[in-house]
């Protein structure tokens, strides 16, 4: 994980089968520095936000993404052309379309950019925060086995455990291209049950890998990498 997107070298390298995670504090950046990189449709999306902070964060995150991709492709940020999947996941298209895949997640002021070569990628971060109905929300997201385990945890461990599992599930579903439109309760059933969930890489099947990480104090994060062939299989683990 690289803790500052601005540390990208003039010509970044990423071998096939490798991935990198970049982070950025959006409110520390100037949106005007990135506005010129955006496409017409991205500028329109930015203008549609009701508050200026959300608009600025969108502009900055898209500008950083374009800068990162341009570094890997020896191109210019404004030349990146995106297409969008059924559920809105962007990917490179046009002359620069190839094996380079990417995904973005942000929670508040913090944004994470995952870049992978030859692998489908999904990333999610969440800032840990109190929830008014933690048990009820857990029941909607966790599988039956996960929920049994969750209810047996001490009260002071439940909140962190919930956000850890949440990021794992969303990262995998985003790698498949569906996000939380997919079968949330069915994802990671075996992996999450009765196993420690600590920062580091975990092989959850032959073609699927999950990396748990702490992007900043008070946050949880997960990145899923999938062999494109694994999309033909069921989401269940």
**pLDDT for residue 93:** 87
37 CA to centre of own chain? 22
Question: Is 3.40.640.10 the CATH number for 5-117?
Answer: no
Fold of 124-232: Ribosomal Protein L22; Chain A (3.90.470)
> Same CATH fold, 124-232 and 5-117?
yes
Residues 87, 88, 89, 95, Cα dihedral to 10°: 130
Quote the pLDDT of residue 191. 52
| DSSP3 helix / strand / coil % (the chain, rounded to 5) | 45, 25, 30
Q: How confident is the model at residue 233 (pLDDT cuts 50, 70, 90)?
A: low
Average pLDDT over residues 46-68: 96
Average pLDDT across the chain, whole number: 87
126 phi/psi in degrees, rounded to 5: -140, 135
Mutual orientation of helices 134-141 and 144-152 as an angle, nearest 10°?
150
CA atoms of 143 and 193, how far apart (whole Å): 9
**Closest to 66 (Cα-Cα) out of 45, 42, 85:** 42
pLDDT, average across residues 48-75:
95
pLDDT of res. 206: 62
Of all residues in the chain, the percent with pLDDT exceeding 90 is 59
Residue 99 predicted with pLDDT over 70: yes
**Is 228 or 83 the better-scoring residue by pLDDT?**
83
CA torsion through residues 128, 133, 138, 140, sign: negative
**Quick one: average pLDDT of 133-160?**
92
| Residue pLDDT, tens place only, 160-219 | 999 999 999 999 889 988 777 767 877 765 554 445 566 776 666 666 788 999 999 999
Mean pLDDT of 61-73: 94
70: left (phi over 0), alpha (psi -120 to 50) or beta: alpha
Q: Which residues pair with 83 in a beta bridge?
A: 91
Q: Which two tokens stand for residue 161?
A: 């455990």
For residue 102, the cross-strand partners are 115
Record the tokens describing residue 128, joined without a space: 């840990």
Round to the nearest angstrom and report the end-to-end CA distance of the chain.
26
Structural domain spans, the chain: 5-117, 124-232
Distances (CA, A) of 118 to 99, 123, 160, 189, 224: 5, 16, 32, 26, 13
- Mean pLDDT is highest, among 29-33, 86-90, 94-98, 139-143, for 29-33
Q: Which residues contact 231 (CB under 8 A, 6 or more apart)?
A: 120, 176, 177
Q: pTM for the whole thing? A: 0.88
* Model confidence at 157: pLDDT above 60: yes
């Amino acid at each position: 994980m690289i803790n500052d997107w601005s540390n990208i070298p003039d010509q970044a390298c990423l071998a096939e089968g490798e991935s990198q995670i970049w982070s950025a504090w959006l409110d520390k950046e100037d949106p005007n520095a990135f506005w010129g990189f955006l496409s017409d449709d991205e500028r329109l999306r930015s203008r549609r936000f009701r508050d200026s902070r959300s608009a600025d964060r969108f502009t900055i995150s898209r500008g950083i993404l374009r800068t990162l991709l341009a570094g890997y492709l020896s191109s210019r940020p404004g030349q990146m052309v995106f297409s969008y999947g059924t559920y809105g996941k962007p990917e490179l298209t046009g002359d620069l379309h190839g094996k380079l895949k990417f995904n973005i997640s942000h929670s508040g002021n913090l944004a994470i950019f995952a870049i992978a070569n030859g692998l489908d990628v999904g990333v999610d971060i969440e800032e840990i925060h109190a929830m008014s109905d933690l048990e009820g929300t857990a029941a909607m997201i966790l599988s039956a086995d996960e929920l049994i385990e969750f209810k047996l945890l001490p009260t002071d461990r439940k909140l962190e455990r919930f956000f850890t599992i949440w990021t794992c599930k969303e990262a995998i579903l985003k790698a498949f291209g569906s996000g939380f439109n997919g079968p949330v309760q069915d994802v990671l059933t075996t992996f999450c049950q009765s196993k420690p969930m600590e920062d580091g890489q975990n092989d959850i099947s032959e073609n699927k890998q999950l990396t748990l990480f702490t992007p900043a104090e008070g946050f949880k994060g997960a990145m899923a990498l999938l062999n494109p062939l694994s999309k033909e299989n069921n989401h269940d683990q």
